[in-house]
Amino acid sequence: MKGQLFNRRRFIADGSKAVAGITLLSSLTNNTWAYTRKPPRIRFSVISINHPHIYGMIESVIKGGGELVSVYAKEPELVVAFSKKYPQAKPARTYKEILEDHSIQLVLSSGIPADRAPLGIEVMQHGKDFLVDKPGITTLEQLAEVRRVQKETRRSYTIFIERLESSTIPKAGALIKAGAIGKVIQTIGLGPHRINPQSRPAWFFDKKYFGGVITDLASHQFDQFIYFTGSTEVEIIAAQVGNLNHPQYPAFEDFGDVMLKGDKGTGYIRVDWFSPDGLKSFGDGRQTILGTEGYIELRKTVDLSGRQGGDHLFLVNQKENLYIDCSKEPLLFSERFVNDILNRTETAIKQEEVFLAAELGLKAQAKATELKLKG
């Protein structure tokens, strides 16, 4: 195993044209995921690749010790692009071919959102775990069926939400657990996104396919609400959705917000497709966590005050006002997730947390009134 790891490292270093020892080392440390990549411990495949999020998901699983074996997509042009990036992935003729390959332990998917849960159900029924792009479930009926099959098969159904890719959110969680801001009272999660309409396929603009703006974009914020407050019983107090500025796409929603109350904290969530082009990231995502003895603000992708990059954490409590650059914190998901597949544990994320976050999004979407404003 160790030999394999070193071979992989050398391969990457060679590819980056490094020759002398010192250059080799620095090229490795600049390439964190390659440097910390685990040797293959599980075999996985990909079915449906309609959103480029799939690439981040694959990198994460490879880093944790996954070996990418095969790929299937209905769209040949997407398979061609995929194969350029991952020549090791064998294109399958049907998705059933992957489901019936007993050597495959895990399937990843970024299919059209409405198709994800039906696929995941089949994946679990074939004895495999499932890692899916958000939104991982687009209706309450799908959720009920996913829950039923997950319970029956004991396979895992994981939605790849922001917390799993983030060093900042777990850092805030650890600070809170250590008592840095007292008891958490409330969270505010803002998830603006840039729309880039020219880059989007037709399904992107029809909520029948993506499940509505709250179901889709607020997946992350519902998860973080549960994670930071520790709530297990949660009520949607009010929700709104609207298409406020995209009349050319009548089945689209560009704005949504939610007020919610858990047994251990209350919260507000806003998501939208209004990130302007002058912003240095796809969206100025914020998470504020208010406690009885302080608060934390996460600026996840950009700091308007001027710091470079993302992963900014600001903490103010009774004693101090701190800034923590979380881009230096470790990313824990990949290794834990592959461990969980091997050990049948829930160290990366609990199955019930995945389902509760999805459920809250679906309930808020279902409860949402339509927002209309005067011109």
Q: Which residues lie near a second copy (CB under 8 A)? A: 181-183, 185-186, 188, 190, 192, 237-238, 240, 244-245, 255, 257, 259, 261, 263-266, 268, 270, 272, 274, 276-280, 284, 288, 290-295, 297, 303-307, 314, 316-323, 371, 373-374
Smaller CB separation from a second copy, 87 or 247: 247
- CA 61 to CA 57: how far, in whole Å? 6
Smallest gap from residue 367 Cβ to a second copy (A): 11
**Run of H or E including 24:** helix 21-29
Smallest gap from residue 53 Cβ to a second copy (A): 24
Smaller CB separation from a second copy, 33 or 274: 274
CA atoms within 13 A on the CB side of 160: 24
- CA 232 to CA 264: how far, in whole Å? 8
Beta-carbon contacts of residue 259 (< 8 Å; ≥ 6 apart): 236, 237, 238, 239, 266, 267, 268
Smallest gap from residue 207 Cβ to a second copy (A): 19
* Closest to 42 in 3D by CA, of 12, 63, 72, 73: 63
Smaller CB separation from a second copy, 160 or 273: 273
CB of 164 closer than 8 Å to CB of 63: no
Smaller CB separation from a second copy, 238 or 342: 238
Smaller CB separation from a second copy, 255 or 337: 255
Q: Which residue has the tokens 């994460």?
A: 60
Smallest gap from residue 275 Cβ to a second copy (A): 8
- CA 375 to CA 293: how far, in whole Å? 43
Smaller CB separation from a second copy, 113 or 265: 265
Smaller CB separation from a second copy, 245 or 351: 245
Give residue 259's identity as a one-letter amino acid code. Answer: M
CB of 13 closer than 8 Å to CB of 24: yes
- CA 149 to CA 127: how far, in whole Å? 11
Give whole-number Cα distances, 133 to 75, 194, 349, 365, in Å. Answer: 18, 18, 15, 18
Smallest gap from residue 85 Cβ to a second copy (A): 32
End-to-end CA distance of the chain: 64
Smaller CB separation from a second copy, 57 or 195: 195
Smallest gap from residue 293 Cβ to a second copy (A): 6
Smallest gap from residue 69 Cβ to a second copy (A): 43
Longest dimension (CA), the chain: 66
- Which two three-digit tokens encode residue 170? 């777990």
Smallest gap from residue 313 Cβ to a second copy (A): 10
